[in-house]
Amino acid sequence: MEQENNKTEWLHLRLTSDEKSKIEKAYKKTTCRKLSDYARKILLGKPLIATYRDQSLDDLMAELIKLRGELNAIGNNFNQVVRKLHLHNQTGQLQSWVMRYEADNERLIQSVQNIEQHINKMADSWLR
């Protein structure tokens, strides 16, 4: 397996805001994931795949990443509630934690419904 060379050297450039926006605009039309990869390929004369990126897939991924974060937070809250329910035997504390669980459960259901809506929307657009 080939190891990638460590990149230890820096190249600093000063640009006008117009130059920077032109470079960023050209970069966004490529398959490069990082601006540094794009610049390196251009400067070293390496082949560059300048193609249209699937904006709908990029949008879907951004939305799914946000939803994953929300679901992780809800899951963490749920685990904390269950842990505390096991620790507290007093009726008053138990009742407050049950109410919090119900609120978290409602948020979880809403997040799952959002995921389902986005998946259905993407499926509809791809099937056309």
Q: Please provide the distance, in angstroms rounded to a whole number, between the alpha carbons at the two ends of the chain.
A: 42
The structure's pTM equals 0.41
Task: Please tell me whether residues 21 and 83 are part of one structural domain.
Answer: no
Task: Please tell me whether residues 84 and 71 are part of one structural domain.
Answer: yes
Task: Please tell me whether residues 122 and 100 are part of one structural domain.
Answer: yes
Angle at 57 between CA 21 and CA 115, to 5 degrees: 125
Residues (pLDDT < 50) of the chain are: 1
Cα–Cα distance between 8 and 11 in angstroms, integer? 10
Cα–Cα distance between 5 and 24 in angstroms, integer? 26
Give the residue carrying structure tokens 């640009």. 15
Task: Please tell me whether residues 60 and 27 are part of one structural domain.
Answer: no
pLDDT in tens, 64-101: 778 878 887 887 887 787 777 777 666 667 777 777 77
